[in-house]
Each structure stands twice: as C-alpha cells, then as structure tokens.
Amino acid sequence: MEVYTTENEQVDALRRFFAENGKALAVGVVLGIGALVGWRYWQSHENSNMMAASQSYQEASDRLAAGKPDDVAAAEKFVQANGNSYGVLAALQLAKHFVEQNDFAKAEQQLVLAQGQTKDDNLLAMIDLRLARVQLQEKKLDEALKTLDGVKGEGWAAMMQDVRGDVLLAKGDAKGAREAYSKGIESNASQALQVLLRMKLNNLSS
C-alpha cells in the first residue's frame, strides 16, 4: 500500500483512482440501488400475493363448508395453485371433508399434497399423523408405519405411539401394539390420551 506524505499526493491519488475506477463505481452504485429497489418490489409483490391468497383461502374455506361438488372442486384447485401455508390449510380441510365422506383415497391425496407444501416440523408431524390414520383406514398398514417414522419431536411422541399401536394391532402384532401403547403413556401424554392408551392396554390384556 502506498504511503502518502503530503495532502497533494493524497488528492492526486484519489483523482487517479476515480479516473481509473469511476465507471465501475458508478455501475456498482446503480446495481446496488437496483437490487434495493428490486428487493422492495419483490417484498411488496409477495405481500400482495399473500394477501390475495389469504382472501382466496377464506373464500374457498367458506365454500367448502357447504360441501357442494363445485365448492369442493374449487378448494382442490386452490390447493394445486397455492404452494404455501394457505394451500396446506386448505388441503387439511379437504382431507377432513373427504374422511367425513369415507373417501379415504382422496383424503390421502390431499395430505400428501400438504406434506410437500410445508417444511415446518410441527405441521409436518400433524400431517403425518393424520396421513397414517387415513392409511390405517385404507389397510395400507406398512405405509402407515413408514409415515409414522417421519413424525419427529417429543411433543408428538405419545400420539405417534398411539397410532403405531393401532396399526400394529391391525397387523395382528398384539405384542408390538402393547409396547407402543406403553411407550405412549411414558411419553408425557396428555391426561385424556393416557386414559385412552390405558383402555387400549386393558383391552389387550382381557
């Protein structure tokens, strides 16, 4: 690095620097401003998109409550078009609707879609639990066990063991079911779930 002994030398050096690099600096400033403007535009665009998605979700949710075929189709279309949290919520509502209609295949389809639209661990755990229950109803027992393997987090352990026990029992594995129910009781289960798990254990013992 040069050492400047007088103010004049420093001024001359600055002049040379800007003469040689002025264009690059100007381009850098313009690009920086452009990036800032672009970022603000993107944020504004995203906020507008989310507001629109929120409104569309509310409309789809209200229509789905009526349960008419056209309204269900509109909700399905909304899920396909929205790979965000609103799409996940709509998919969960659709899955619930299809379960109530005993259409477990379509319920599974919506839950699988929801899986692919979120990376939130807690939301994924809830989706996996619902999916495993649906797969149990469909007699897809091995798939249900595989789905349950994806449930992470201590807060979900008791519920996961509850469903695992049901699946194992459906497979004819009473010993495995008993172990699962017992682990569920030991996993800080809520009082209501503990009562349910103990009832299931008692039924296995009788």
Across 36-40, 94-98, 124-128, least confident range: 36-40
**pLDDT of amino acid 86:** 83
pLDDT of amino acid 73: 86
| Contact status, residue 133 vs residue 165, Cβ threshold 8 Å | no
Flag the least confident range among 22-26, 58-62, 72-76, 117-121. Answer: 22-26
Report angle CA 26, 29, 32 to the nearest 5 degrees.
150
The letter for the amino acid at 171 is K
Which pLDDT score is estimated for 41?
A: 42
- Per-residue model confidence as pLDDT tens digits over 41-55: 434 544 555 565 566
Mean pLDDT for the stretch of residues 24-40: 48
What are the pLDDT digits (tens) for 97-128? 999 999 999 999 999 999 998 888 999 999 99
Task: Give me the pLDDT at residue 77, please.
Answer: 87
Q: How many CB atoms lie within 10 A of CB 12?
A: 12
| Across 166-192, average pLDDT | 94
pLDDT of residue 115: 92
| DSSP state, residue 151 | -
Q: What is the pLDDT of residue 185?
A: 93
For residues 194 and 162, the answer to whether their CB atoms sit within 8 Å is no
Distance CA 23, CA 46 (A): 34
What confidence tier does 88 reach under pLDDT thresholds 50, 70, 90? Answer: confident
